[in-house]
Amino acid sequence: MIKHWINGKHWDGAPSRAGDVYDPSTGKVANQVAFASVSEVDAAVSSAAEAFASWRNASLAQRSTVMFKFRELLNERKGELAQIVSAEHGKVVSDAGGEIQRALESVEYACGIPQLLKGGFSENASTRVDVYSIQQPVGVVGVISPFNFPAMVPLWFVPTAIACGNTVVLKPSEKDPSASIFLAELFAEAGLPDGVLNVVHGDKVAVDRLLEHPTVKAISFVGSTPIARYVYETGTSHGKRVQALGGAKNHMVVLPDADLDLAADAAVSAGFGSAGERCMAISVVVAVGPVGDELVSKIKSRIADVKVGSGPSCEMGPLVTGVHRDKVTSYLDAGVSEGAALVVDGRDHPIDGAADGFWLGPTLFDHVGTDMTIYTDEIFGPVLSVVRASSYDEAVEMVNNNRYGNGTAIFTNDGGAARRFQNEIEVGMVGVNVPIPVPVAYYSFGGWKESLFGDAHAYGPHGVHFFTRSKVITSRWLDPSHGGVNLGFPQNT
Ligand code: NAD
């Protein structure tokens, strides 16, 4: 049984509810995870509230020392964590390692917290009056994360939140909960005081309690768009600041002058890496002008080489659950019945793994229309659609009309076209000949439109802004030679 982590230790109660955790490569139940009740969430929030009283005053030196130590430990033990992620999520170990490498960047950013929290100071704003700003923590913060990056997404938020002086209750996905517990143990080993980071497992019951709990002051959420909208609306109606990152449908626009080999390589790695279960995965390739046939043929030939299975040489693992695999598979029939051309059927792909695993090989559709469900829905699996566009303008209009705006990419050798694209496209993260433009940690991660509710993106400068409240102090100290107390109204002289 995977238990909660409350006040610096594994919770020793007996859960009233629990869920199954699968090994997606075999399809077998591998473990059980406790589902928190309201009172268990309350215990975690109380522990965080108690810890906040002293952690908010921990020196910047102490906070960054913990963060540096955590960074060292995570780097030393990333191989172990990659195995844990792979076992419950299904992504291949090398891909899980990549997730942790990107997560380390956020930890490293938080190591610089003394620099990041520097305020401004204006001496003599008025005579003998100084004005300065400080950034203070908001209090207890709830972090609710999705299944697809069980190590990286919690680490988008937790290091910055605690480095800013907050305390955290993390509610990871119930599908792959072990990575969060591993991280909590590493933080404890790094010297983080008890109660600063708590982990509660569970489902809607736990999420709703965090959204309603009066002691929780901020919520960082990542997941699908319907739940992101719900979390944003419920959290803000309870007076909390909320950042809720939602789903995606990422387009890769290929202009006629692009290097088609580079574009085909990118489409395959960005479309099928992690079995397409990435919020920045490419799910639509927009072939502009005459390049469609050649591009489709190049993508098709590369798909044949993708090694799907659970062995060390494999590039793509299973989907996270049988239910999800079946839902993704249903889009293969839907696409055909809606009139798209099924160029590669993932059900026919060779699989190097146990028969009952949640497998589906890479699928390629061509001649997809923007009214088809394979275009309109976020499939979140290894299904790539090619849409033909007659011009650059038509391609841009298509991307801008899509309700999601997480990531997009343009492939071209024309710098002017790329520059125009970055200006005109209504998407939060844009790649130029880069298919998955996840920002480095010293920028911030976030989409537009229905891919983000709230105005603060994740990590980087936005993260520091989200996890702090600004205070501006106007102070006046009399010159000792003045002598005596001035009870008059402040003068601007
Ligand atoms: P999900 O929305 O099903 O779950 C996310 C979290 O919400 C989980 O912790 C889950 O337990 C909780 N939850 C689920 N249903 C709930 C409900 N009815 N009420 C309250 N809480 C609920 O998402 P998922 O399937 O775990 O993750 C995949 C989704 O996340 C995809 O849509 C993907 O695009 C998105 N995602 C977005 C980003 C981004 O940065 N925009 C990053 C990663 C994943």
Condensed to tens digits (0 to 9), the pLDDT of residues 429-447 reads 999 999 999 999 999 999 9
Residues 44 and 153 in one domain: yes
The region that residue 7 occupies, defined by phi over 0 for left and psi between -120 and 50 for alpha, beta otherwise, is left
Output the CA torsion 473→479→485→487 (10° steps). Answer: -50
Amino acid 208 reads D
Residues 242 and 258 in one domain: no
Q: How far is the CA of 408 from the centre of ligand 1 (A)?
A: 20
Does residue 306 sit within a domain? Answer: yes
- Which of 481, 444, 485 lies closest to 465, judged by CA? 444
DSSP H helices in 146-224: 152-163, 178-189, 204-212
Residues in Cβ contact with 481 at an 8 Å cutoff, skipping those fewer than 6 apart = none
pLDDT at 486: 61
Tell me: the pLDDT tens digits for 28-37? 999 999 999 9
Which residue's alpha carbon is nearest to atom 23 within ligand 1?
A: 223
Domain count, the chain: 2
The yes-or-no answer on residue 111 being catalytic is no
Residues in Cβ contact with 266 at an 8 Å cutoff, skipping those fewer than 6 apart = 252, 282, 409, 411, 433, 434, 435
Question: Residue range 296-316: average pLDDT?
Answer: 95
Residues 284 and 175 in one domain: no
Which residue's alpha carbon is nearest to atom 38 within ligand 1?
A: 279
Maximal C-alpha separation, the chain: 90
Tell me: the pLDDT tens digits for 112-142? 999 999 999 999 999 999 999 999 999 999 9
The CATH number given to whatever domain includes residue 108 is 3.40.605.10
Question: Residue range 368-378: average pLDDT?
Answer: 98
Residues 428 and 464 in one domain: no
Does residue 216 sit within a domain? Answer: yes
Q: Say if residue 493's pLDDT is above 80.
A: no
Q: How far is the CA of 320 from the centre of ligand 1 (A)?
A: 13
Per the listing, tokens 């002293």 go with: 54
DSSP H helices in 402-442: 415-424
- Which of 189, 186, 185, 192 lies closest to 166, judged by CA? 192
Q: How far is the CA of 145 from the centre of ligand 1 (A)?
A: 7
Residues 105 and 233 in one domain: yes
Which residues are near ligand 1 (CB < 6 Å)? 144-149, 153, 171, 173-174, 203-204, 207, 222-224, 227, 245-248, 279, 378, 380, 406, 447, 451
pLDDT at 12: 94
Does residue 326 sit within a domain? Answer: yes
Long-range contacts of 441-446 (CB under 8 A, 24+ apart): 441/105, 441/106, 441/108, 441/109, 442/109, 445/156, 445/245, 446/243, 446/245
Closest ligand 1 atom to residue 320 Cα is: 25
Closest ligand 1 atom to residue 227 Cα is: 2
pTM (predicted TM-score): 0.96
Strands (E), 203-322: 216-222, 241-245, 250-254, 282-288, 308-309
Does residue 10 sit within a domain? Answer: yes
Residues 138 and 90 in one domain: yes
Closest ligand 1 atom to residue 224 Cα is: 32
Does residue 490 sit within a domain? Answer: no
The CATH number given to whatever domain includes residue 420 is 3.40.309.10
Q: What is the mean pLDDT of the chain?
A: 96
pLDDT at 480: 72
Residues 414 and 455 in one domain: no
Does residue 240 sit within a domain? Answer: yes
- Which of 388, 401, 437, 448 lies closest to 253, judged by CA? 388
Q: How far is the CA of 245 from the centre of ligand 1 (A)?
A: 9
Which residue's alpha carbon is nearest to atom 40 within ligand 1?
A: 245
Per the CB < 8 A criterion, the answer to whether 67 and 110 are in contact is: yes
Tell me: the pLDDT tens digits for 251-274? 999 999 999 999 999 999 999 999
Structure tokens at 294: 């050649």
Q: Please choose from 207, 231, 404 the residue to mutate so as to test ligand 1's pocket, defined by most ligand atoms within 8 A of CB.
A: 207
pLDDT at 481: 72
Residue 298 to residues 8, 28, 35, 186, Cα–Cα distance (Å): 53, 36, 46, 45
Per the CB < 8 A criterion, the answer to whether 457 and 443 are in contact is: no
pLDDT at 490: 62
Residues 241 and 360 in one domain: no
Does residue 487 sit within a domain? Answer: no
Domain that holds residue 284: 250-432
The region that residue 121 occupies, defined by phi over 0 for left and psi between -120 and 50 for alpha, beta otherwise, is beta
Q: Say if residue 484's pLDDT is above 60.
A: no
Task: Dihedral sign for Cα 203, 204, 205, 210, please.
Answer: positive
Residues 112 and 198 in one domain: yes
Residues in Cβ contact with 269 at an 8 Å cutoff, skipping those fewer than 6 apart = 435
Residues 323 and 407 in one domain: yes
Q: How far is the CA of 170 from the centre of ligand 1 (A)?
A: 14
Residues 165 and 193 in one domain: yes
pLDDT at 478: 85
Residues 23 and 109 in one domain: yes
Q: Say if residue 491's pLDDT is above 80.
A: no
- Which of 105, 6, 82, 102 lies closest to 48, judged by CA? 6
Does residue 493 sit within a domain? Answer: no
pLDDT at 488: 64
Please tell me the distance from the alpha carbon of residue 58 to that of residue 70, in angstroms, as a whole number.
Answer: 17
DSSP, res 25: T
